[in-house]
Amino acid sequence: MTTSPFLTRRDLLTMIGKTAGASAMYSAMMSMGFAKASTFTSELELSDAPDGDSVLILGAGLAGMTAAYEMRKAGYDVTILEYNQRPGGRCYTIHSGDTVTDLSGETQHCEFAPGNYINPGPWRIPYHHYGVLHYCKKFGVKLEPFIQLNYNAYVHSSKAFGGKPQRVREVLTDVHGYTSELLAKATNQQALDDVLTKEDTEALLAQLDDWGHLTDDYKYQKSMKASEYRGYDDWPAAGLMPKPSPSEPLDFKELLHSGLWGMLLDYFNTSYQHTMFEPAGGMEEIARGFAGEVGDLIEYGRKVVRIEQSDNEVTVHYIDPERPDDVMTRKADWCVCTIPLSVLSQIPVEVSPAMREAIAAVPYASSVKTGLEFKRRFWEQDESIFGGVSYTDLPIKAISYPMYDYFSDGPAVLLGAYTIDDATSFTMSSMTARERVALAVSYGKQIHPQYEEEFISGVSWSWHLSPWSLGCYGLWTEELREAHYDTLCEIDNRLVLAGEHCSYIPAWLEGAILSGMDACKRLHEKATATARA
């Protein structure tokens, strides 16, 4: 019995298992609310509010400001109480000159060059998040393309190919080539005769030949044909310069076990497909756009300490964090509460037992981002990487290159580490920001050796150490949604919750916006029905 020089049965079963695992993971992501398009079609057109009705909104994130915008249009007397001294919540940008302090007490002074910044929270907008795009256009927030997939960026395994990072185009082309060769072999050995007619087989082989850049005998190997896609050793030039020469594909076995194949999946998730966007100047520009409409309704430096309600009104007790002994009180007919559940679960709230249980049931994901400033754009100047994201199996997980001011001189900032909802993220949260910055430089130099020579300064933010969110986003499971989601979103007497945690698009701005719209629409329906009763 002869065996393939490329793939053993064990290898094939391993590959199938990995594929099934990826599919199962994707299905799980769908059930938890990831990778979904928005249902937004237009702004709300609410009928007139009942005469004199007031609404108190807790939190000036995007959910709260969306609700405020829509309810003010309907004629409600609206007030927003916000913990921070700025709008936006987790829609946040750390700019040059900013000072940030986390729950550990560590204070960081952002020493980036003027104009440089990092987005520690949301950093990209999918093309199908129609609500965000609508309000950005309406409020004059300028958007620029965000490049998720750059074929010249890297995927990197510290355990394969001598730890050398590989260009995305090389790995993607080789994956296409090797899988096309294997499928062509199976087809030619009549392994698919039970599902393919003769005409089907001929059509499949012709397309595999094109898709995999195969030779005449259906092999994937070093060739000019493949190099048109994976790149050349000597690139086409002119005159008496070196003639074009083909590049050598990566070793199949090593590629199969490297983990690089799986890293490619993130580029093609529907949440990250072209075209994505980011605001010019940082994600906080979206918050400023909303605040341009409802900023006069916001009272900053307001920490909610208790929420009570009766059949006729809602009473909110709050303090100025600078004067914690001075408890203030505000009453309103209705309340939209957008406080993250991680914080709200620690506040006395007068709601039903089922609602209290739902508020306490949802854990929050951990996430850490680290921004690094360098003397020059070496990724552009030395490696021709203009925007995009590189992935690695190192603890930093990802490197994202700035997608603005291309070809400029002087310092520039890249996202040097991004961990989310895994053990590494919790480990990094236990470190100081200074330690996380040093770690990002230490690991990042395995991909970009220029790091140490070019590094200037860094800023790192852990969302579990964020005093206003105590985590990154609501971490739902199918079981949790079945048990608590509907209860969490229902109006409880005169109070309704909103935020990304009350959506099937958690962790995204769109989830917050849609939740804010849905909450105020249903609250308005109840308010008008109550007024008629």
225: Cα separation from own chain's centroid: 36
DSSP category for residue 5: S
At residue 490, what are phi and psi to the nearest 5 degrees? -70, 155
- The pLDDT of residue 5 is 34
C-alpha torsion angle, residues 316, 317, 322, 325 (rounded to 10): 180
> How many alpha carbons lie under 13 Å from residue 230 in its C-beta half-sphere?
28
Q: How close are the terminal C-alpha atoms of the chain, in Å?
A: 84
Grouping H, G, I as helix, E, B as strand and the rest as coil, residue 283 is: coil
383: Cα separation from own chain's centroid: 26
Domains, the chain, in order of start with CATH, read 54-88+287-363+476-532 (3.50.50.60), 94-152+273-282+365-465 (3.90.660.10), 168-257 (1.20.1440.240)
CB atoms within 10 A of CB 257: 16
Burial class (CB in 10 A: 0-12, 13-18, 19+), 481: middle
pLDDT tens for the 533 residues of the chain, in order: 333 333 333 343 344 334 333 333 333 443 344 445 788 999 999 999 999 999 999 999 999 999 999 999 999 999 999 999 999 999 999 999 999 999 999 999 999 999 999 999 999 999 999 999 999 999 999 999 999 999 999 999 999 999 999 999 999 999 999 999 999 999 999 999 999 999 999 999 999 999 999 999 999 999 999 999 999 999 999 999 999 999 999 999 999 999 999 999 999 999 999 999 999 999 999 999 999 999 999 999 999 999 999 999 999 999 999 999 999 999 999 999 999 999 999 999 999 999 999 999 999 999 999 999 999 999 999 999 999 999 999 999 999 999 999 999 999 999 999 999 899 999 999 999 999 999 999 999 999 999 999 999 999 999 999 999 999 999 999 999 999 999 999 999 999 999 999 999 999 999 999 999 999 999 999 999 999 98
User: 231: left (phi > 0), else alpha (psi -120 to 50), else beta?
Assistant: left
* CB of 389 closer than 8 Å to CB of 263: no
Alpha helical stretches, state H, 215-311: 224-230, 252-258, 260-263, 265-268, 284-294
